[in-house]
Amino acid sequence: MRFKGIAIIAMALITTLIGCQTDETSMEKKDTPVIDAIMARRSIRKYKDTPVERELLQKIAECGVNAPNAMNKQEWEVRIIDDANYLNEVTELMKVDMPFFVKSDEPGFRNGFRNATAIIAVACPDDETGMTLLNVGLMGENMCLAAQELGLGTCIMGGPSMFLNTNEKAKPYLDKLGFSEGYKLRYVLGVGYPDEAPDAKPRDLSKIKFVE
């Protein structure tokens, strides 16, 4: 009986040790897909001439509207444009009135949206607290990371949105987006299959400090 009791204790200790080793191993090999996507994501400015499937664009937008936002008011509107005619016609206007936004001398140039085959336009109203801008910023990050996970590239562009907001000739194209009264276009997200793999630019980690 005594021997049997010692054997049971020994087995319990072995089981505990194996469990500890398993936990340590699982911690070392734990998948971190969100962190991996953050570290791998780059702004892409060269895209293949391959249309992005609409179900993928829809999924990216859905990830966007699942971003945190103040009081869950969801004060944003999203428009997906994958019509090449729209992109090309706006590009032609930009070539004339804002040529510095258009890199038409680059090899393989297709449009003034960094050659992306689709864009996602995001709008929100003005807000004294600035929370609506924060909200659409969080939305943009969600969409960028979702695209990364789906094997797509993205580039957040201020130039085309500035052009659409301010150029009278571009007004019909802004109107076509159909944003609600009081909503203003804030940025355009280019989406497409990447045709480049740029290295990460250095980050200044000294900006991070613990407060003791």
Average of per-residue pLDDT across 47-73: 97
Higher pLDDT, residue 104 or 60: 60
- Does the pLDDT value for residue 142 go beyond 60? yes
Contacts of residue 45, Cβ cutoff 8 Å, sequence gap at least 6: 114, 115, 155, 196
pLDDT value of residue 28: 62
* 14 pLDDT tier (thresholds 50, 70, 90): very low
**What percent of the chain stands above pLDDT 90?**
79
pLDDT score at 9: 43
User: What is the average pLDDT value for the chain, to the nearest integer?
Assistant: 89
pLDDT at 203 over 50: yes
Which among 201, 197, 179, 199 is positioned nearest to 188, based on CA atoms? 179
Task: Answer for the pair 129, 118: CB distance below 8 angstroms, yes or no.
Answer: no
